[in-house]
Chain A
Amino acid sequence: MTSAIPLRLYVNGDRYEIAVEPRRTLADALREDCGLTGTHLGCEHGVCGACTVLVDGQPVRSCLMFAVQAEDSSVRTVEGLAPDEERLHPVQQAFWENHGLQCGFCTPGFLVLVAGYLEEHPDAEEAELREVLSSNLCRCTGYQNILTATMCAARAMRGEELP
């Protein structure tokens, strides 16, 4: 048995001083040690994408990274998308308005994936966004509404009128 080692994580701008075993995945550390249960764990082997978070701005599967590897990195989870208590992130707003979620289990992963991508690539076109969305699984198979929501979010983030 290896013992817990002290670790400093920066998540959504907050500092967390935790102690974890090296085998603790980033996903488990976020949920169990930081109390941020918005990140969901589906398959735990990198296929479903429910646990997607941004590490230094890049989307990663948090089940395929150990928490110790994220030391001193900047992590962003679904809890860190909305700008404040009153407003949703444009991607969250679009998912709400377009019924982009059914059971909601995969939603945090899709929100983080799409928000991260659109913030870096505001001019992304549909084919490119479909390719990005293929990263994650929705077992309700609500992909059409997820795509519609993503396209609406892209337009909103570019400041365009919505149809």
Chain B
Amino acid sequence: MKPSPFEYVRPRTLTEALAAIAEDPDESKILAGGQSLIPMMNFRLARPARLVDVNRVPGLAGLASDGDRVRVGTLTRHHAMEHNPLPGPLGGLLRRAAAHVGHLPIRTRGTFGGSLAHCDAASEWCLVARLLDAEMTVRSQARGTRVIPAADFFQAVFTTAMAPDEILTSIALPALDEHYRTGIAEFARRAGDFAIVAATAAVRVEEGLVTEARICLGGVAEVPLRSAAAERVLLGERWSPELVTAAAEAAAADCDPPGDAHGDPAYRRDLVRALVPRALGLDARR
């Protein structure tokens, strides 16, 4: 229950951080919030030889509106996301998603970018990033900057498209106009636990018609799953609770969830059916 020894490096600039990780990319890990990495180190599931602590690198945290986009700095804490001042449907979605991440003392440390780079299948931020087709900006000393779309970024459990010498520096999200309805709903057995199944939604409704539909599910595949079937049901149709129910049915029928001690595939499908409407503010229990 104690980490194995490692060398600790605390760069003061991004350039220094990139140089530190370039020296030995395969044996180094970036330390951001540490709320996933340090438990893995305490269990010795992870034994990096070198930790590059980016917590004191300036300029990596915060949200900035940039025309039709919002740029989120990689080191923005979950707690800052929970209390972000962004107006409109995007700000609301980010606040509600953040409230689902762990508990308060986890949210004060854990970071948005760290969560994406860690790529846990149950991560709310991975879901939101895939839902909104976020664009990840990553940097390395050798190859400079490149941008990876969310559809390519999440590859498998704990596996992203980033190379070992790259650092995720910022994430671009679309600024959603006031016609969007957004939300997140998840089910876990205890408050703050990893969700067994989670659903996120961003649906644009103008003059009663669905002009864009995004539904993304967690806990039903190795990585966040966009439900093309549910999105097809919604797109171009007249917005109604019945339409959302039909979309939820399509999402449940279309996915192929795994079974484990937390829930078998049929149970997870039931959760999808219940959570998609809830993510859109339609709750059969109310």
Chain A interface (Cβ within 8 Å of chain B)? 1-2, 5, 21-23, 25, 28, 44-46, 49, 52, 58-61, 63-66, 68-69, 113, 117, 131-132, 134-136
Contact = CB atoms under 8 A, between A and B. Distances in A.
Contacts of B31: 66, 69
27 contacts: A2-B5, A2-B6, A2-B7, A2-B8, A22-B6, A22-B51, A23-B5, A25-B3, A25-B38, A28-B2, A44-B42, A45-B42, A46-B35, A49-B105, A60-B109, A61-B109, A63-B42, A65-B34, A65-B38, A66-B31, A66-B51, A69-B34, A69-B55, A113-B104, A113-B105, A117-B104, A134-B103
A132 B104 contact: yes
Contacts of A136: 103
A61 B53 contact: no
A66 B7 CA distance: 12
B87 interface: no
B85 interface: no
Interface of B: 1-8, 10, 31, 34-35, 38-39, 41-43, 51, 53, 55, 79, 103-106, 108-109, 190-192
Contacts of A44: 1-2, 42
Contacts of A23: 2-6, 41
Contact of B39 (A5, A28, A45): A45
A21 B43 contact: no
A45 B40 CA distance: 8
Counting chain A CB atoms within 10 Å of each CB, which of B3, B38, B79, B190 scores highest? B38
Contacts of B43: 45
Contacts of A131: 104, 191
A109 to B, nearest CB: 9
A33 B245 CA distance: 58
B104 A59 contact: yes
Contact of B34 (A22, A64, A117): A64
Given A61-B106, A65-B34, A1 B8 contact: no
Given A61-B105, A68-B8, A135-B192, 13 more contacts: A23-B5, A25-B3, A25-B38, A44-B2, A45-B39, A58-B108, A59-B104, A64-B34, A64-B35, A66-B38, A113-B104, A135-B105, A135-B106
